[in-house]
Chain A
Amino acid sequence: GQNIDQPTEMTATEGAIVQINCTYQTSGFNGLFWYQQHAGEAPTFLSYNVLDGLEEKGRFSSFLSRSKGYSYLLLKELQMKDSASYLCAPRGEGGGNKLTFGTGTQLKVEL
């Protein structure tokens, strides 16, 4: 099975930087995904890490430490539209596209 732990809610200011942490336990490991989900909409893909280290993609970066079962999503230059739920989804053994999600982190960006 899988255990995924993320903070439930976070609040940050427009223009600031925020880091959303995720710790996980899986049976085997085949990468970790981060998705963004706005209320009432389906999740959209943000990033994928399979090796340790930082993956940068514009304002969004994601970090992975496999030995620690830890990942974080870093959002820079926050914008109001970044207010959403952020879902951490580690992929267990077997790979494929079957993902299990935690509760997600609801991020609120304020002026």
Chain B
Amino acid sequence: GAVVSQHPSWVICKSGTSVKIECRSLDFQATTMFWYRQFPKQSLMLMATSNEGSKATYEQGVEKDKFLINHASLTLSTLTVTSAHPEDSSFYICSAGEQGPKTKAFFGQGTRLTVV
């Protein structure tokens, strides 16, 4: 089945620095990928849709200048958390699936971000 790989699995960074998270589709091409954030004991909240070759589409309330998304190829999307603050500490998960209206989404392993 389709495999989505996310890296790194966990990262600790200092407040004010930026962190880049990668999401790769390993055996299929994905024109769209999705970024979610999950706080402890809460559900996955969709942050944005990453579109290959064009700008990402952000959900309401998500700061596009803080969460930079780049989808430069059909197998790679990156999420950069800029000027991270402790409140950005969360579990970030990407998903992707093969093209078509009836495909299913597969998730990367997730990235645990801790900002100190």
Among B14-22, B43-51, B68-76, B79-87, the one that faces the other chain is: B43-51
* Chain A interface main SS type: loop
Among A52-60, A74-82, A93-101, the one that faces the other chain is: A93-101
The yes or no answer to A33 lying at the interface (CB within 8 A) is yes
Given A33-B104, A101-B43, A104-B43: A40 and B91 interface contact (C-beta under 8 Å): yes
* Residues of B close to A73: CB separation below 8 A: none
The yes or no answer to A43 lying at the interface (CB within 8 A) is yes
Taking the closest CB of chain B, its distance from the CB of A58, in whole angstroms, is: 16
Beta-carbon contact of B93 and A45 below 8 Å? no
CB-contact partner of B44 in A31, A43, A95, under 8 A: A43
| Interface core residue of A31, A41, A43, A100 (most chain B CB under 10 Å) | A43
Could you tell me the distance between the alpha carbons of A45 and B2 in the complex, rounded to whole angstroms? Answer: 11
Beta-carbon contact of B104 and A100 below 8 Å? no
Q: A40-B112, A48-B104, A50-B102 are in contact. List 4 more A-B contacts (CB 8 A).
A: A33-B105, A41-B110, A42-B110, A87-B44
- Assign chain B's interface to a size class: 20 to 34
Taking the closest CB of chain B, its distance from the CB of A73, in whole angstroms, is: 15
Which residues B97-115 have CB closer than 8 A to chain A? 97, 100-110, 112
* Residues of B close to A96: CB separation below 8 A: 32, 97, 101, 103
Taking the closest CB of chain B, its distance from the CB of A85, in whole angstroms, is: 8
Beta-carbon contact of A87 and B104 below 8 Å? no
Which residues A55-111 have CB closer than 8 A to chain B? 87, 94-104
CB-contact partner of A45 in B44, B49, B104, under 8 A: B104
